Amino acid sequence: MIVFAVGRRIVFFAAALSVLCMTSVLVGCGHGNPAMPAIVPPYYGPVGGPVGDVGPLSPDIEDTTDGFHAIQIFDDIHGNFISVDEATKNGDRYGAVWGSRQNTVIPWQTNNPDNRPLFYTPFNTDVPGAMGHPLSWWQLNHPDWILYECDKKTVAYIPGLSEVPLDFSNPAVAAYQSALIGAYTELNGYNGIAADIVDLTNNTGQSRSDKGGCGVWSTPIKWQQKFSGSLKDPQWSAAVVFWATTLQRLLHEFPKRLALAVNTPPGAYAAPVNGKGGDPTMRALFDHVDVEFDEAGFAIWGNYAENTPFVNLVGWMEYVQSAGKAFFVADDWNQQGGEPSVHQVDYSLATYMMGKEQASALYIGKNQMYGKENYYHQYTAKIGTACSPMYGGPNDKHFNGDKIYLRKFTGALAIVNVSPNTPYKITLPKPSYTNIEGGTIHSPLTVAPNTGYVLLTTNGCV
């Protein structure tokens, strides 16, 4: 496993490197010789629509029912910088800013009152920057809040972060965050708090070696164990839900209700189906936040989502939006030197469309692009509104276990092949479409592994 510091988020992922390319027919690269495509039985998908909203509008993002909707991640990081003038000019491009600095909060909203800037902080440490405190301050003022590893002496810092780790199972920590950060965000016009690294697994210390955050010294002579110190720990995940429940309630009590946004990739957790089932802990967490931000997205740091995480992520998008909450997808393509390729951008657009309803927005880029604008021309495409839910995949009776998915919009057809090695030849609902990148696409179409298409049309619901 490789450890990457992403912004201030610590991301652990398998080093499965994909080699990407773009050809005129998108036949794929990095998979050896192109395989013979599997023939998908002709099926033209559901007819009629549009489908309408799956839930009420969210107070934390603009209405995203029609077209593409983007978010900005940070405006001053990694040597990148967005000026006040740029924020004022381009605020109408984005529905939210994850991690706005103080002097751009109002500029982002000047030409777009619907832009919701968020104040950034890791969820289980002290506040970063000047608002936070050194370890010596905590040892003097709240020594019983400092989280230690199970050796009872090593402070359980999150790898890559210098902020003091706090025992977030203590409700006083959420009260501290609300009083300090909540008051600051309300005073400065933020929409709420962007809480990072909200993991259901232990993200502190050396948890992969069972040496993660473990407990606190409740008095100078009394040790209180809170967690096992292991990566997977039911006590940890339950404490995360408790923390979110407590902090969300406190933020909603401000005169101007403040939102709790969390960065929690859910692709490894079973999603509800039609509002039922799903991983109970992840569901409980999402029931007590206002915005879900998935920094892994469908890109999964450049590894591409295979069938199970893809289906899970679409399911969580639908579940969160059905409750009138916002879902932000961040497709970070971190496994190449340059910016995302056209192939990767189209894959991100098509996968986002599979779960996009009335409260979902998208970021496409990579970690080193945080803090600067990368607004893609494809965002202006007139895809319209969804005609019906996503269809296809191994569980669709019209398909022979094929890992290819489609979704109709009034102005477009989205197609995604989530197989890492099998191309599919599909019959399209219409004889021809216009590729979002230009040119005409005719039916049948061969879709390479790990490939997405956005095909523009009119009367797309037929």
Give one DSSP letter per residue of 42-75, joined into a string: P-----S-----SSPPPTTS---SSS--EEEE-S
Does 245 have pLDDT greater than 50?
yes
- The string of DSSP codes covering 85-134 is HHHHHHGGGEEEEET--GGGHHHHHHS-TT-EEEEEEETTBPPSGGGS--
CA distance 103 to 83: 9
Does 339 have pLDDT greater than 50?
yes
Model pLDDT, residue 2: 29
pLDDT band per the 50, 70, 90 thresholds, residue 34: low
As separate numbers, helices (DSSP H) first and strands (DSSP E) second, the chain gives: 9, 24
CATH fold for the domain made of 2-24+56-384: TIM Barrel (3.20.20)
Report pLDDT digits (tens) over 346-378.
999 999 999 999 999 999 999 999 999 999 999
Q: How many CB atoms lie within 10 A of CB 52?
A: 10
What one-character DSSP code corresponds to residue 284?
A: H
- List the alpha helices (DSSP H) in 356-385: none
Report pLDDT digits (tens) over 57-113.
999 999 999 999 999 999 999 999 999 999 999 999 999 999 999 999 999 999 999
Rg of the Cα trace of the chain? 22
Q: Length of the chain, please? A: 462
**Omega before 265 cis (within 30°)?**
no
- Angle at which helix 342-355 crosses helix 307-322, to 10 degrees, equals 50
pLDDT band per the 50, 70, 90 thresholds, residue 16: very low
Mean pLDDT of the chain: 92
Q: How many CB atoms lie within 10 A of CB 74?
A: 22
**Omega before 389 cis (within 30°)?**
no
Report pLDDT digits (tens) over 372-382.
999 999 999 99
Q: What is the phi/psi pair of residue 274, to 5°? A: 55, 40
Does 24 have pLDDT greater than 70?
no
Report pLDDT digits (tens) over 442-459.
999 999 999 999 999 999
Model pLDDT, residue 336: 84
pLDDT band per the 50, 70, 90 thresholds, residue 312: very high
Cα 451 to Cα 23, 74, 268, 308, 383, distances in angstroms:
12, 28, 21, 16, 19
Q: How many CB atoms lie within 10 A of CB 253?
A: 11
Does 119 have pLDDT greater than 70?
yes
Model pLDDT, residue 49: 75
Model pLDDT, residue 26: 40
Please, which residues have CB within 8 angstroms of residue 450's CB and are 6 or more apart in sequence?
18, 28, 304, 347, 417, 418, 419, 420
pLDDT band per the 50, 70, 90 thresholds, residue 46: confident
Nearest alpha carbon to residue 26 among 346, 399, 407, 376: 346
CA distance 292 to 288: 10
Average pLDDT over every residue of 6-27? 37
Model pLDDT, residue 13: 37
Does 135 have pLDDT greater than 70?
yes
Top-confidence residue, 397 or 12:
397
Three-state secondary-structure class, residue 254: coil
CA distance 37 to 283: 38
Does 248 have pLDDT greater than 60?
yes
Written as one letter, the residue type at 449 is: P
pTM (two decimals):
0.92
Average pLDDT over every residue of 28-57? 75
Cα 319 to Cα 128, 201, 312, 418, distances in angstroms:
32, 22, 10, 21
Cα 34 to Cα 29, 265, 377, distances in angstroms:
8, 32, 30
92 alpha-carbon distance from chain centroid: 21
Give residue for tokens 């040496």.
Answer: 211
Does 313 have pLDDT greater than 70?
yes
| Helix/strand/coil (H/E/C) assignment for every residue in 394-415 | CCCCCCCCCCEEEEEECCEEEE
**Encoded tokens for 146:** 């400092």
Question: What does the domain layout of the chain look like in residue ranges?
Answer: 2-24+56-384, 35-52+386-462
The answer to whether 321 and 55 have CB atoms below 8 angstroms apart is yes
The answer to whether 123 and 168 have CB atoms below 8 angstroms apart is yes
Report pLDDT digits (tens) over 417-444.
999 999 999 999 999 999 999 999 999 9
Model pLDDT, residue 184: 98
Percent of the chain with pLDDT over 70: 93
Q: What is the CATH code for 35-52+386-462?
A: 2.60.40.1180
Written as one letter, the residue type at 52 is: G
Nearest alpha carbon to residue 387 among 365, 362, 414, 368: 414
Report pLDDT digits (tens) over 163-221.
999 999 999 999 999 999 999 999 999 999 999 999 999 999 999 999 999 999 999 99
